[in-house]
Amino acid sequence: MSNPSAITPAATPVTGYMNSLFEESEDRVGDKQRSTCLKQAPLLRVGTAARDAFDQNNLMTFKVRFKIYTDTEVNINAPNQSTPKVGASKKVPESSKLNLIDSKAINAGYLKTKICVFGKSLNEFKELVAGACEKYEAGMKNVILNSHFLPDLKWKATIGRIKSVLTNFDQWQNLVDALEKSTKKMCTILIENENVQVKAKDKASIRD
């Protein structure tokens, strides 16, 4: 006979990866593997109000500069296909063909953007940075991510006295950890390659 006065204990809340409020365990590797957070593990699930608030409260400032040497002329002022604002000039900017694509010629050297790095892969981070560059100069996202320059581009990161080159997940996670521990939450990113003319001379001297 059941005891009518007995109280059924409340269900124990599911925690960690088993809870729908949290991200599932990471199973990706390499440049697709997402970074972790020292103070929030596991991370809240993407798309939830709590995760949106977390991301907004953990935005980091990135000062981005690019310096890309080319062996061909590159049109860095490709026509913008977006719909112009009412009253805006419809004149297409003249093409500026350079053998050096330098952000100094665009916006005093550094372009600023804010990104929450937690739960993002190195590939996703590069996509966001390239997208920020595209806002300053049409065509830069393609140059950084999809052009023949891609294999030679180096992503150099600086946080205070800490310097690194982002080539794999370990270096990406180290950068995320350093940003989380820093007080200014600011990082400088330099995207560059070798001077192609100097590189060609070096190769020629080796052959000789």
Identify the CATH number of the domain in which residue 123 sits. Answer: 3.10.20.90
To which H or E segment does residue 101 belong? strand 97-102
Q: Please check whether residue 27 lies inside any domain of the structure.
A: no
Q: Which of 98-112, 132-146, 170-184, 194-208 has the highest mean pLDDT?
A: 170-184
pLDDT on residue 136: 84
Q: Would you place residue 147 in the very low, low, confident or very high pLDDT band (cuts 50, 70, 90)?
A: confident
Is the pTM for the entire model greater than 0.85? no
How many domains are contained in the chain?
1
pLDDT per residue as tens digits for the range 22-68: 777 766 788 889 999 999 989 999 999 999 999 999 999 999 999 99
pLDDT range class, residue 104, cuts 50, 70, 90? confident
Domain that holds residue 156: 59-79+95-207
| Domain contains 34 | no
Give domain status of residue 70, yes or no.
yes
Per-residue pLDDT band for 169 (boundaries 50, 70, 90) equals very high
Q: Are 69 and 196 in contact (CB under 8 A)?
A: yes
In this structure, the strands spanning 60-75 and 186-192 are parallel
The pLDDT value recorded for residue 110 is: 82
Token readout for 154 is: 């180096």
Q: Where are the beta strands (DSSP E) in 103-184?
A: 111-115, 154-159, 162-165
**What is the band of 153 on the pLDDT scale with cuts at 50, 70, 90?**
very high
